[in-house]
């Protein structure tokens, strides 16, 4: 698994971890966060919707691809999910 936080203007933090076919992460002090995905040879596109828990964490089963969190123009570091 990988933990890749992305600092947003020194205020917000996005973290995304891949383990098997599951993504987990947290979204702290950031609004309007989306998940993006890219399959090999493709471009970044909208991924599955995030369902944030009250503590601003999430867990999501996904298909093999690369994933990253995005908030406007700010993009988190991508993680790979393989079969």
**Per-residue pLDDT tens for 10-43?**
567 788 999 999 999 998 888 889 999 999 999 9
For residues 47-57, average pLDDT: 93
Q: Are 29 and 13 in contact (CB under 8 A)?
A: yes
Q: Are 53 and 38 in contact (CB under 8 A)?
A: no
**Per-residue pLDDT tens for 59-78?**
999 999 999 999 888 888 89
């Amino acid at each position: 698994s990988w933990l890749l936080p992305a600092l947003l203007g020194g205020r917000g933090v996005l973290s995304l971890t891949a383990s098997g076919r599951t993504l987990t992460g947290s979204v702290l002090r950031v609004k309007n966060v989306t998940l993006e995905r890219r399959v090999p040879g493709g471009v970044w596109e909208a991924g599955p919707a995030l369902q944030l828990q009250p503590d601003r964490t999430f867990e999501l089963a996904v298909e093999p691809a690369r994933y990253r969190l995005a908030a406007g123009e700010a993009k988190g570091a991508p993680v790979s999910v393989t079969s």
